[in-house]
Each structure stands twice: as structure tokens, then as C-alpha cells.
Amino acid sequence: MTREVLIRICSRQTARDASGDQQQEEVLVSGEYFFRNGRHYLLYEEVQEGFFDTSRSRIRFDGESLDIRKQGIASTRMIFVPGEKKLTCYETPFGGIMLGIFAKDIRLTESEDEINLQVSYTMEIEDRPHADCVVSVNIRPKYM
């Protein structure tokens, strides 16, 4: 895999209440990729919806865990380990929100020109069930 990559992040949330409402979001950004000590790393910046500032993000993953750090207008560190519930604070300009993340499954597939990562998890907000979520990350060389 090259250092300069295109990163496509697709997320889907299904509400855990009676409505079962679904929200989907897709982000396509360019970023940097590297592999060190058995882990994959992605570095990129993205514009936060409704703001002019960007957030810097770092994603570190292998087949057993996923670690996402965002710094900027909104900041957080989310850790996903299947079978474990992790707590984190999602800091926004309007205050912090306590999130609980229970990862169910992480799938990683790799080839010379593409990496796919998918994590499914349940999210709680302020200790209340909120949504069942799936995040898919596709990484490809920026230039082929």
C-alpha cells in the first residue's frame, strides 16, 4: 500500500428505540497510511459539519482492535475491542457527551491495493442504549 491514500468511511446507525430509524453517513478524504509494529495507521483531516474548522483524525487498527482519535472542534478517543465495553467522552463546543461502546465484531481484509475494515458495535449515550452501528473503512492508493 502506498503512503498517500483515499479513505472512504461509511457509517450506519440504527436506533435502538421503537422507531428503528436509520442514519447513514459517508466521508471520502485523502490521507496518509503506514504500517508499523503489526498495526495499520491512517492520518487525515476532515471538515466538521456546520463548522469551518477541521478535525485531525488518527485511526490505528489490526484484526483485533480499532482505536480512533479525533482532535479539533470535536475531540474524542474511541476504542473498539470485540466483547468489551469501552467508555469515552466526546467533547464538542457545546459540552461533553459520555459514550459507551460495545464492539461486537471487527473484520479486516487486506490485499496489495486495498484494505477493508468493518466494525459493528452498540453505542450508549449517557448510559442509555442508543444505536446499533456499523462502520466500514476502505483504503486505496491515491494514485494507481
Please provide the size of the chain in residues.
144
Interval 46-103: pLDDT, tens: 877 766 778 899 999 998 999 999 999 889 999 999 999 999 999 988 899 999 999 9
Q: Which residue has the cell 503489526?
A: 38
Interval 16-46: pLDDT, tens: 888 889 999 999 999 999 999 999 999 999 8
- Give the contacts of 99 (CB within 8 A, at least 6 positions apart): 76, 78, 87, 88, 89, 90, 123, 124, 125
The pLDDT assigned to 131 comes to: 95
What burial class does residue 59 get, using C-beta atoms within 10 Å of its C-beta: 0-12 exposed, 13-18 middle, 19+ buried?
Answer: buried
Here the contacts of 21-29 (C-beta below 8 Å, separation 24 or greater) are none
The arithmetic mean of pLDDT across residues 122-129, rounded, is 93
- Rounded to two decimals, the pTM is 0.90
